[in-house]
A and B are shown apart, each in its own frame.
Chain A
Amino acid sequence: MKRINLKSHRNLIFVAAAIVVYAFIAYGMNSNLLPRATQTLAIKACYNVILALSLSLIVGFLGELSLGHAGFFALGAYSGCIFSINSNLPIELRFVLAALIGGTVAAIGGFLISSSILRLQGDYLAIVTLAFGEIIRSFIKIIPVTGGTAGLGGIPSLGSKLKTFTFSYVFVILTILVIRNIVASSHGRAITSIRDNAIAAESIGINIKLYKIKVFTVGAFFAGIAGVILGHYINFIEPANFNYNVSIEILVMVVLGGMGNLLGSIIAAVVITFLPEILRGFDQYRLLIYALALIFMMLASNSPRIINFRVKAREKAAGLYKKLFTRKEE
């Protein structure tokens, strides 16, 4: 009984935090207390969080290094936005449908790509996903309906920044819920077991190929939604928005957040979104800072001393939490 109560407390905290964050930003936007640049970045943070969470499922939980996430991002952006441009539905409905279409097209891409690389692992898989990302981009450049290298313009806007932010934010919350619910389930444990020891996972009946396909499909779906948000927010997309640097930047968010740590990925995505703003004037050092931060994270997440410290801290926090929230029932 206590366990279940503990969990519902956590859900309440999540909902409360989500509302507070939204209220804060919405007020800031409405009253223009937030600087314009920050308002823009708040929307950018939304799709970056979705991108980071979706890649986290592939890299952090399944343990496969995918360097082609920008490809799924692009598939979603183009398919969703092309729909939006050619539709006459009310803009709100159009946006939601575009998100579903973009997500679905990207998911089909994820399904096809993962089905074709089932035998690959590690470095080979990384290289092939990188290539797939670039192939998608090259393909977009040559087919007419996407506008080619000139880009795709005329993507409708939802209206005010606040409105765009609100719709994006709802998708962020949905993404968090879906991915968390997958991770915290028998399927999530199966996925994590493949990361930790694929041979052992197979020996106890975990179908690795099936999960690779499922994880890539779900991950690509959300990357596609992120693409639709991007399109409806900048109203113009071009292949350069989706080059491999973007894949790397998403990967940086996942690694900085601590592999297999959803909250960490969210925070890292937000921080990296705002980093250029924070470091205004030091922009040329941005890549250097990424590199240093990455090296630090690699060291930190592989050092037994730091891992043990984290585990102990978590156990202590859990104990404290139990003390605070379970006393009333006794």
Chain B
Amino acid sequence: MTQVELLEVNNIGISFGGLRAVDNVSLTIKNGQLYGLIGPNGSGKTTLFNMITGVYKPTSGTFYFNGENLTGKSPVEINKKGIARTFQNIRLFKNMSVIDNVKVGLHNKHKYTMFESILRLPRFFHEEQKMEEEALELLGVFDLDKEKDSLACNLPYGKQRKLEIARALATGPKLLLLDEPAAGMNPNETEELMETIRFIRDNFNMTILLIEHDMKLVSGICEEISVLNFGTLLASGKTSEVLNNPEVIAAYLGE
């Protein structure tokens, strides 16, 4: 992949009542990049994700994905265009099995009508078979295949985070947004997660934008980062340069 812009955010902003949660933020992510988004709590990182995934409609600015203006589109449309995400507070389908969580992600890829499922026509079996195979393959990547029939809520925390990534990948995205994937993980798990993220980028041809507080993870895998502070962009650029920026250190890393 050459250095083609995949996501372009232009002067995006949103207000909740009087609160300007995100203001005038711009960033550009190129195909195949591993991009970090950092900033103190409440600086608007998750809100930015919510705008890019259609959960919130921006009150100003635009964003382009693959050259197409997706500002204000619904979460479903945006996911179909190729953006998938995980959530800061894990949102799994708790009372469904591990493999079914992934299969829901495959729902739009292997289609058959409700009518075909009622009559159990050949396409039902054909597509179900494909879903089963692909879901198992994805679970294998995350080492979750042995737990495929457990309920998602019975998985330990670290595995729940992995399952959420697997489910997002099942939708076949070009851009993956990870909201604090290492939150609540111990150093060993974080190390393993870094490996996994690199593996996804390389083997799934993925572009990844991640929010993270763990500086070791960020400096370890992100090529470029942006820093948010009180909803505005404080700095962006090469990870090592940004992390040495005195303003950034004062606002965030110093404390």
Contact = CB atoms under 8 A, between A and B. Distances in A.
Contact of B127 (A178, A186, A214): A186
Interface in B162-216: 167-168, 170-171
**Which of A178, A185, A189, A203 lies at the interface centre, i.e. has the most chain B CB atoms within 10 A of its CB?**
A203
Interface in A203-245: 203-207, 214, 218
B110 A186 contact: yes
A197 B92 contact: yes
Contacts of A189: 96, 100, 103-104, 107
A202 interface: yes
**Which of A181, A196, A201, A214 lies at the interface centre, i.e. has the most chain B CB atoms within 10 A of its CB?**
A196
Contacts of A104: none
Interface string A101-112: 000000000000
Contacts of B107: 186, 189-190, 204-206
Interface in B127-157: 127-128, 131, 149-151, 154
A189 B106 CA distance: 11
A186 B117 contact: yes
B124 A185 contact: yes
B84 A203 contact: yes
Secondary structure call for the A interface: helix
Given A311-B151, A315-B149, A200 B76 contact: no
A204 B168 CA distance: 6
Contacts of B92: 196-197, 200
Contacts of B171: 204-205
A146 interface: no
Contacts of B117: 181-182, 185-188
B94 A197 contact: yes
A186 B103 contact: yes
**Which of B106, B117, B119, B167 lies at the interface centre, i.e. has the most chain A CB atoms within 10 A of its CB?**
B117
A249 B172 CA distance: 44
Contacts of B55: 199, 202-203
B64 interface: no
Given A186-B128, A189-B96, A192-B96, A204 B118 contact: no
A193 interface: yes
A221 to B, nearest CB: 12
Contact of B87 (A200, A205, A315): A200
Contacts of B91: 197, 199-200, 203
Interface residues of A, number: 29
A190 B111 CA distance: 12
Contacts of B103: 186, 189
A192 B93 contact: yes
**Which of B55, B74, B107 lies at the interface centre, i.e. has the most chain A CB atoms within 10 A of its CB?**
B107
A199 B164 CA distance: 13
Contact of A214 (B53, B96, B114, B128): B114
A258 to B, nearest CB: 11
B95 interface: yes
Contact of A204 (B104, B111, B128, B131): B104
A147 B55 CA distance: 50
A171 to B, nearest CB: 15
A187 B114 contact: yes
Contacts of B149: 315
Contact of B105 (A177, A204, A260): A204
B96 A202 contact: no
B34 to A, nearest CB: 21
Contacts of A177: 118
A197 B152 CA distance: 12
Contacts of B124: 185
A207 B76 contact: yes
A185 B119 CA distance: 11
Q: Please name the 4 residue pairs, one residue from A and one from B, whose CB atoms are nearest each other, closest first.
A: A185-B117, A196-B93, A200-B91, A205-B79
Interface of B: 53, 55, 74-76, 79-80, 84-85, 87, 91-96, 100-101, 103-108, 110-112, 114, 117-120, 124, 127-128, 131, 149-151, 154, 167-168, 170-171
Given A186-B117, A203-B75, 18 more contacts: A178-B118, A181-B118, A182-B114, A182-B118, A185-B112, A185-B128, A188-B117, A193-B101, A196-B92, A196-B93, A199-B75, A200-B87, A203-B53, A203-B55, A204-B168, A205-B105, A206-B76, A218-B114
11 contacts: A181-B120, A185-B124, A186-B110, A187-B114, A199-B87, A200-B93, A201-B93, A202-B76, A204-B167, A205-B108, A206-B104
